[in-house]
Amino acid sequence: NITHAAERANVSQPALSRQIQLLEEELSTQLVERRPRGVALTPSGQRLADHVRALMQSVELIKEDIIAAETLPAGTLRISSAYSLRGLLMADVVAEFHRLHPQVSIEIQEGTSVNVREALVTRHVDLALYSDHGASRGLNRQALCSEALVRLSSRATGLRLDQPVGADSLADLDLVLTPSNNGLRRVVDEMLPQTGRSRNPPVIVETNSIIIDLVSRGGLHSILPYSACHQAFSRGEISIAPIAGITWPWIIATSRDRPRTAAMRVFQELVVSHAQRVVANGLWVTAELPPRRLTHSIL
């Protein structure tokens, strides 16, 4: 019945009749047969109806697939993380994420905080974990925690984690430090002149692992976040002490102009919850959690 069909389609009966007529003209065939009591589909009309039903089912499948992509992690997740976060954070989070979502491929790269942020800004990665020292345009940033920088010395030096030292204790030491383009090095370079130190460090090293190896052999000292050296400290290879008044903030960030996938969302949630857990249970000894309001954007 054309009248009933028009009511269901929420259009007028003349408008629906006109649309049927136009469709018949376009397909060069009769689609409906007028009868004394309403209308019936012709064979061509029935074939068209079958095709339309199949198309509508495909549209529903497409909608379901798009919705699932927004709620169920899939595809490839590319992550860049600072070297220091490997032991306390990244290894556990990646293992947990893979256990929960084995269908997602994970690509991980490590670097200095400067390099990690650059990888995010240039869209080489989806998520980045690094130390934040200033605004980066176009990023969504979420604070994870801040931790103390520590002085590293040999085990025989006898530094104590529960006895902070002043920056002036570094004035006359032979230091092994990261290169000048490193974010940590810039913080250290701002701090050391205040201690009266005027000479450059005798050894420059790119990676934390080599710095720790050199310090453990004696004669050289360094400055790193606790997260970077906690494993060597736990093994008794070095002694460390927090440097009073110096903290190091960690964040996780995404690009504002990149669509936020379900995989990105779930991984970020795991990172935040794991950071909160290791700080709360005392494993991240020198760290403090940020205020409750964690997330902000840099326009």
Do 151 and 38 fall into the same domain? no
Q: Given 38, 69, 100, which residue is the final one in a domain?
A: 69
**Number of domains the chain is built from:** 2
What CATH number is associated with residue 37?
Answer: 1.10.10.10
Do 63 and 159 fall into the same domain? no
Average pLDDT, the chain: 89
Do 82 and 145 fall into the same domain? yes
Do 162 and 242 fall into the same domain? yes
Of 5-14, 195-204, 242-251, the range with the lowest mean pLDDT is 195-204
Query: Which pTM does this prediction carry?
Result: 0.74
Do 105 and 218 fall into the same domain? yes
> What is the residue range of 9's domain?
2-69
Average pLDDT over every residue of 293-297: 44
Of 158-162, 183-187, 265-269, the range with the lowest mean pLDDT is 183-187
Q: Given 18, 51, 69, which residue is the final one in a domain?
A: 69
> Are 104 and 261 in contact, with CB atoms under 8 Å apart?
no
| pLDDT tens figures, 226-263 | 999 999 999 999 999 999 988 899 999 999 888 888 99
Do 124 and 257 fall into the same domain? yes
What CATH number is associated with residue 218?
Answer: 3.40.190.290
Q: Given 13, 37, 69, which residue is the final one in a domain?
A: 69
